[in-house]
Structure 1
Amino acid sequence: MNGAVEAANKNIKKIIEKMTVNYRDRHEMLPFTLLAYRTSIRSSTGTTPYSLVYGMEAVLPIEVEIPSMRQRMARAFNKKVRLREFSPGDLVLRKVLHIAPESRGKFAYKYYGPFIVKEAFDGGAIILNDMDGNENVLPVNADTLMKYYP
């Protein structure tokens, strides 16, 4: 494998040598060494091997007890999230997701409707009826809806 495994083993060996006093302690420090190696950023990819495998950054054990920047960012994000609850019979407008080529540019309509909520599910999926009572076949996400007040 063109030396990739050997290079990784060499780096792990360097880390474990810095963490141990003598060679007999190496087996005790191996899990901590692997955690340090997997959660350190590589200059070649600009990210950690853990995030490449799992698609998100690892939460370190110290971050559970001490509020980190990640927890503060999540708290700031969650403060701005608006809860949208729809019940059957509500009138809603649906966001225009695809702009038509002959649209009016920035003066085009952002929402269209109104529609009537037929059924609302827990995950945010909603089945709509148009004003004539015809049911839309596909459910829509609650993020694309806005309550309509006539």
Structure 2
Amino acid sequence: MDDLVVSSSFRVPDGELRERFSRSSGPGGQGVNTTDSRVELSFDVANSPSVPDRLRARLLERLEGRLVDGVLTIVASEHRAQLMNREAARARLVNTLRDAIAPPPPPRRATKPTRGSKERRIAAKKRRGDVKRSRRTASDD
């Protein structure tokens, strides 16, 4: 297979990926019991020479809940064929890494409600109060 392209400056060579195969649960009939179609794809984020230094800290921070000793593991077992599970795991790894290296969104600039929105809010509260008041019977007062 080819290198995984995460971004223009970040490619993961095939040699840095570790694949393990095991028996999968789910569809497949009797073949499930004999075929190693489940794929575990592992990538060492912390020690990989292909991860640019400027992205490594962001990756480690954003993926910290999914890393075990700096290694990210993706599991795919939704397909009956091992090859399709390998492709699914690779696609999932690329998407996970892309999401993790995305720059953070710009900080939200705090704004105050406009005068019109304040007036509309107060008017809605008054209308609601009038509706509730009109529901009261004389004995409730």
If the TM-score is normalised by the length of the shorter chain, which range does it land in? under 0.3
- TM-score, length-normalised on structure 2? 0.21
Tell me: higher relative CO, structure 1 or 2? Use CA pairs within 8 A at least 6 residues apart.
2
